[in-house]
Amino acid sequence: MADAKVEKEAGPAPGGEIEQQENVPRKREYKDFGEEKHKATHAKVDMNQIELKAEDLYDKEKVDLETIVIEDVFALLQVTEEGLDDEEAERRLGLFGPNKLESEEQNPFLQFLSFMWNPLSWVMEAAALVAIALSNGGGRPPDWQDFVGIVTLLLINSSIGFYEERGAGNAVKALMDSLAPKARVKRNGKWQEIESANLVPGDMIAFKIGDVVPADCRLTEAINVSIDQAALTGESLPCSKKAGDQCFSGSTCKAGEAEGVVIATGANTFFGRAASLVGQDDDTTGHLQKILAQIGSFCLVAIGIFVLLEIVILYPAFHYSYRRGLDNILVLLIGGIPIAMPTVLSVTLAVGAQQLAKHKAIVTRITAIEELAGVTILCSDKTGTLTTNKLTIDKQLVKTYGPFSPDDVMLLAAYASRTENQDAIDSCVVGMLDDPKKARAGIKLLDFKPFNPVDKRTEITYREEATGRLKRVTKGMTGKIIELCTRNKTDDVENRLEADVEEFATRGLRALAVAYEELDHDDHEGEGNGFELIGLLAIFDPPRDDTKQTIDDALALGIKVKMVTGDQLAIAKETGRRLGLGDHMYPAKVLKEGPAPGSKHATLDEMIMDADGFAGVFPEHKYEIVKRLQGLGHLCAMTGDGANDAPALSRANVGIAVEGATDAARGAADIVLTEPGLSTIVHAIRGSRVIFQRMRNYSIYACAVTIRIVVCFGILAFAYKFDFPPFMVLIIALLNDGTIMTLSVDRVLPSNTPDSWDLAEIFAFAVAYGLYLTLSTIALMIIIVETTFFEDKFGVSFTGGQSGSRKDANDYEIHMIIYLQVAIISQALIFVTRSHSWFFMERPSTALLCAFCIAQLISSIIAAYANWGFTQIRAISGGWIGIVWVWNIIWFLPLDLIKFAMKATIIKYLRERKARQVAELVAQQAHGEVPLTRTQSRAASLHESLYSNRVSFIRRAARKVGFGTNAPRMAPNELTRFASIQASQSGAVLARNPSRPH
CA distance 820 to 307: 24
CA distance 763 to 299: 10
CA distance 953 to 122: 15
Q: Which amino acid is at 480?
A: K
Q: Which among 530, 489, 70 has a CA at the least distance from the CA of 262? A: 70
For 415-494, where are the E strands, in sequence order? Answer: 443-449, 457-464, 470-476
Give the pLDDT of residue 7. 35
> Among 64, 381, 426, 755, which one carries the catalytic annotation?
381
Give the pLDDT of residue 811. 87
**Three-state SS annotation for 262-282:** EEECHHHCHHHHHHHHCCCCC
CA distance 680 to 693: 20
- Listed as own residue / partner, the contacts of 130-139 with beta carbons closer than 8 Å and 24 or more positions apart are 130/326, 130/329, 130/330, 130/333, 131/330, 131/726, 134/326, 135/323, 135/326, 135/327, 135/330, 136/323, 137/322, 137/323, 138/321, 138/322, 138/323, 138/324
Give the pLDDT of residue 274. 67
Other C-beta atoms closer than 10 Å to the C-beta of 147 total: 18
Give the pLDDT of residue 977. 33
∠ at Cα 273 (272, 278), nearest 5°? 95
DSSP 951: -
Helix (H, G, I), strand (E, B) or coil at 627: helix
Give the pLDDT of residue 121. 74
Q: In this structure, are residues 668 and 404 in contact, taking their beta carbons and an 8 Å threshold?
A: no
Give the pLDDT of residue 628. 86
DSSP 47: T
**Could you report the average pLDDT of every consecutive run of 10 residues in the chain (998 residues)?**
36 38 50 49 52 38 65 81 88 83 66 70 77 64 74 73 52 40 86 88 86 87 82 68 86 85 82 62 52 81 90 86 82 79 70 76 77 88 77 88 89 90 83 87 90 83 90 90 85 88 82 91 85 90 82 88 84 85 84 77 82 83 85 84 75 83 72 78 86 86 91 92 87 81 80 85 93 95 90 84 70 92 92 89 89 93 87 89 95 93 91 81 55 36 40 41 36 32 50 49
Conformational region of residue 265, where left means phi above 0, alpha means psi within -120 to 50, and beta covers everything else: beta
CA distance 665 to 383: 13
Please spell the DSSP secondary structure of 915-931, one letter per residue. Answer: HHHHHHHHHHHHTTSSP
Helix (H, G, I), strand (E, B) or coil at 748: coil
Model pLDDT for residues 204-251, shown as the tens digit of each residue: 999 987 778 888 889 998 888 888 776 666 565 678 888 888 888 878
Question: pTM value?
Answer: 0.66
Q: Which among 632, 633, 668, 637 has a CA at the least distance from the CA of 652? A: 637
Give the pLDDT of residue 250. 78
Measured over the CA atoms of residue 933, residue 934, residue 935 and residue 940, the dihedral's sign is negative
Give the pLDDT of residue 880. 93
- Residues in CB range of 213: below 8 A, 6 or more apart: 180, 207, 227, 247, 248, 249, 250, 251, 252, 253
SS3 percent helix, strand, coil of the chain, rounded to 5, is 50, 15, 35
Please spell the DSSP secondary structure of 537-574, one letter per residue. Answer: EEEE-PBPTTHHHHHHHHHHTT-EEEEE-SS-HHHHHH
φ, ψ for residue 460 (rounded to 5)?
-125, 140
| Structural domains of the chain, with CATH | 70-102+182-274 (2.70.150.10), 340-348+694-907 (1.20.1110.10), 361-388+544-674 (3.40.50.1000), 397-539 (3.40.1110.10)
- Residues in CB range of 156: below 8 A, 6 or more apart: 340, 343
Please spell the DSSP secondary structure of 756-823, one letter per residue. Answer: ---HHHHHHHHHHHHHHHHHHHHHHHHHHHH--HHHHHH----TT---SSS--TT-HHHHHHHHHHHH
Model pLDDT for residues 944-990, shown as the tens digit of each residue: 444 443 334 334 444 443 333 333 333 333 222 333 444 445 555 55
φ, ψ for residue 842 (rounded to 5)?
-120, 105
Give the pLDDT of residue 257. 86
Give the pLDDT of residue 948. 41
Q: In this structure, are residues 812 and 873 in contact, taking their beta carbons and an 8 Å threshold?
A: yes
Q: Is 423 a catalytic residue?
A: no
Q: In this structure, are residues 97 and 990 in contact, taking their beta carbons and an 8 Å threshold?
A: no
- CA separation (Å) from 899 to 192, 302, 508, 740, 839? 77, 22, 56, 20, 10
Q: Which among 598, 597, 592 has a CA at the least distance from the CA of 620? A: 592
Give the pLDDT of residue 116. 73
Q: In this structure, are residues 246 and 38 in contact, taking their beta carbons and an 8 Å threshold?
A: no
- CA separation (Å) from 727 to 148, 330, 721, 870? 10, 9, 18, 9
**Three-state SS annotation for 488-546:** CCCHHHHHHHHHHHHHHHHCCCEEEEEEEEEECCCCCCCCCCCEEEEEEEEEECCECCC
